[in-house]
Amino acid sequence: MAKPITVPIVAAFLWIAMVIALVVGIALSFPGTFLDQIWRYNPPAHAAFQMAGRASGVGFLILGLALGAAARGLVRGRRWAWWFAVVIFALNGIGDLFALLATRDFARNGSGLVIAAGFLVALLHKNVRDSLNHPPCVL
C-alpha cells in the first residue's frame, strides 16, 4: 500500500519540531552563547525556563530526540510512531486549550489548538492508519 502524503508531511513537521527543541535545549543547557538570541522572541518563556534551571534544557534535548524518533518511525511506516505522533499532538492540543482558557490569547493558543487538531484529524484518517498496518519492506 502506498503511503499517503499525510505521513511525510507530519514527519516533516516533527523533524522541524525536533530541530527547534534541540536548539532550545542547547541554549538552555549552555547559556551565554549566540543561541541566547532566540529568547528575544519569547522573553517570558526564557524567564520560566531559567527558574527551572538546566534540567529544562535536558528535557528539551530528550523531547527533540523523541520527536526525531517519531518522525523517522513514521517515514518507515512504524505503527508505534503513529501512536506516538497522535499522543504528541493530543497533548499539544490539550496544552493549548488550557493555555487558551487561562490567557485568552486566541492568536497564539487558539491557532495552536487548531493546528494540533488538524494534525490529529490527518493522522486519524483511515488511509493513514491503514498505510501503517503494513510497513514497507526495507532491505
Mean pLDDT, the chain, integer: 88
pTM of the model: 0.83
Residue whose C-alpha cell is 511525510:
8
pLDDT band at 19 (very low <50, low <70, confident <90, very high): very high
**Radius of gyration of the CA atoms of the chain, in A:** 17
In single-letter form, the type of residue at position 98 comes to: F
Rounded Cα distance, 91 and 111, in Å: 15
- Per-residue pLDDT of 75-107, as tens digits, reads 998 999 999 999 999 999 999 899 888 888 888
Grid coordinates given for 21: 527543541
| Per-residue pLDDT at 42 exceeds 90 | no
All structural domains of the chain with their residue ranges:
6-131
| Per-residue pLDDT at 135 exceeds 60 | no
Averaged pLDDT, 113-122: 94
Rounded Cα distance, 131 and 123, in Å: 11
**DSSP for 16-37?**
HHHHHHHHHHHHHHSTTSGGGG
| Per-residue pLDDT at 138 exceeds 80 | no
What is the structure's pLDDT at 139? 43
Handedness of CA 37, 38, 44, 46 (dihedral sign): negative
Rounded Cα distance, 74 and 76, in Å: 5
Q: Residue 118: helix, strand or coil by DSSP? A: helix
Averaged pLDDT, 6-28: 94
pLDDT band at 64 (very low <50, low <70, confident <90, very high): very high
Averaged pLDDT, 9-38: 91
